[in-house]
Amino acid sequence: MILNSLGSIPNQSDLIELLCLWESVYEFVSLKKSQSVSWENLQRLVEAGCDSLFLKARMQYAEGATLLSNHLRPMAGRERIYPSMVSPQASGRLGISDPPIGNFTADLAYGPHGLRDVVQPDPGTKWICPDWSSVEGWIVSHRCQDEADLEAKRRGLDLHTVTAIYVLGYPDPPFEPTKEALRSDHGREWMSSVGFTPALRDAIKHSRYALQNSKDEKALARYALPLGIPKEKLWEIGRRYLASKPGYVRFKQHRMDEIWRLKEARTSFGRRRRFPVMSLRDRYRVQKEGFSHEISGTVADMMKMTMVSLAQIGCRMVLQRHDGWYSEVPQDWDDWDAYKRVVEREWIIDGRPISFPADYEEWTCEAPTL
């Protein structure tokens, strides 16, 4: 993959000025490093639910320093990069480093695609970029047979918005709440009229995923600062979410009990992760990591099998990002039917069939398009 020019990012001068400012602050603070609060301690404050404006500014500085030091500076002056991709995680997911472009932010404050479009395909090629939408949530819903979630999936609705409407007691919109409809003028008008905000949708989204791997709703405190919602309100949202999902709570407890009993966990395709004999004080950690392996590990297995199938039809993976990836194809490639048959194929999980919708982008040397 080759590096893109910052010229494709709007407000280039503003971005460069911002980065130079961060660099100046970074160099100044580096001189006083012994007097600085560590990133780990700052993160602990965020996870505890602190919502200080000063803390928010300090975290923004830390993000800027990371972008400069770990992301942008190592790429300066280079026309091509060769990132390392290995599977260091227990779940089987890929880790990307040198540089860690899989972790480049998608924050729109840095451009229409964040910093992700600082790389681009080689001339004469393009990237097809699918992303399985809410795949871990759908797997859990499928395994515990959550009928409300599965009905939303059958109708192609936005899972987190539908869940938020039900859990938080908002009126149903006068349209099918798909992602596309919610982005439209009448979608924004409905949200404004009932007081529904993207932050509330994200609060439910974080409830779904954070509570999947946590003891209770207190884990949601870490999102108070980025969402601008007091931690006490997030805790209440988390409690209401769990109360609305009794089948999920029973399923999770059953799986965690089995993981502890067997001292192992398996993905839906049988890949095993063993846990050595532990003392009782390790029980929650084993259950948490085992349950995560069953869900995240299943997605990692699906990803690898999908990459093999796509390679067989001439689509080479060049980059993976969490639940999505980039496939390199010739510039004149147009075999969408074959590609989508592979990506959205049917899987058998717990003896029942399920497939997963994907969102797609197409990236060329000029700019990515939806």
Torsion of CA 355, 257, 287, 284, to 10 degrees: 150
pLDDT, tens digit, 9 for 90 and up, residues 92-131: 777 787 788 877 777 777 777 777 778 889 889 999 999 9
pLDDT, tens digit, 9 for 90 and up, residues 266-284: 999 999 999 987 788 899 9
- pTM metric for this prediction: 0.81
Predicted local distance difference test score (pLDDT) of residue 86: 78
Q: What is the distance between the alpha carbons of residues 44 and 48, in angstroms, rounded to a whole number? A: 6
- Please report, for residues 26, 104, 115, 121, the alpha-carbon distance to residue 108 in angstroms, rounded to integers and kept in the order given: 23, 12, 9, 21
Reading the block at residue 100, the tokens are 């860690």
pLDDT top residue among 52 and 170: 170
Q: Which helix (H) or strand (E) holds 321?
A: strand 316-321
Predicted local distance difference test score (pLDDT) of residue 47: 73
Q: Where are the alpha helices (DSSP H) in the chain?
A: 12-31, 39-47, 53-66, 135-144, 147-154, 159-168, 179-183, 185-194, 198-210, 224-227, 231-243, 246-262, 283-311, 336-343
* Confidence label for 348 from pLDDT (cuts 50, 70 and 90): very high
* Confidence label for 6 from pLDDT (cuts 50, 70 and 90): very low
Mean pLDDT of the chain: 85
Cβ neighbour number for residue 326 with a 10 Å cutoff: 23
% helix, strand, coil for the chain, step of 5: 55, 15, 30
In sequence order, the 6+-apart residues with CB closer than 8 A to the CB of 343 are: 130, 132, 306, 310, 358
What value does the mean pLDDT take over residues 279-291? Answer: 91
The residues spanned by each domain of the chain are: 1-87, 121-144+253-370, 147-244
Q: How far is CA 183 from the centre of its chain?
A: 20
CA–CA–CA angle 297, 302, 303 (5° rounding): 95
Architecture of domain 121-144+253-370: Alpha-Beta Complex (3.90)
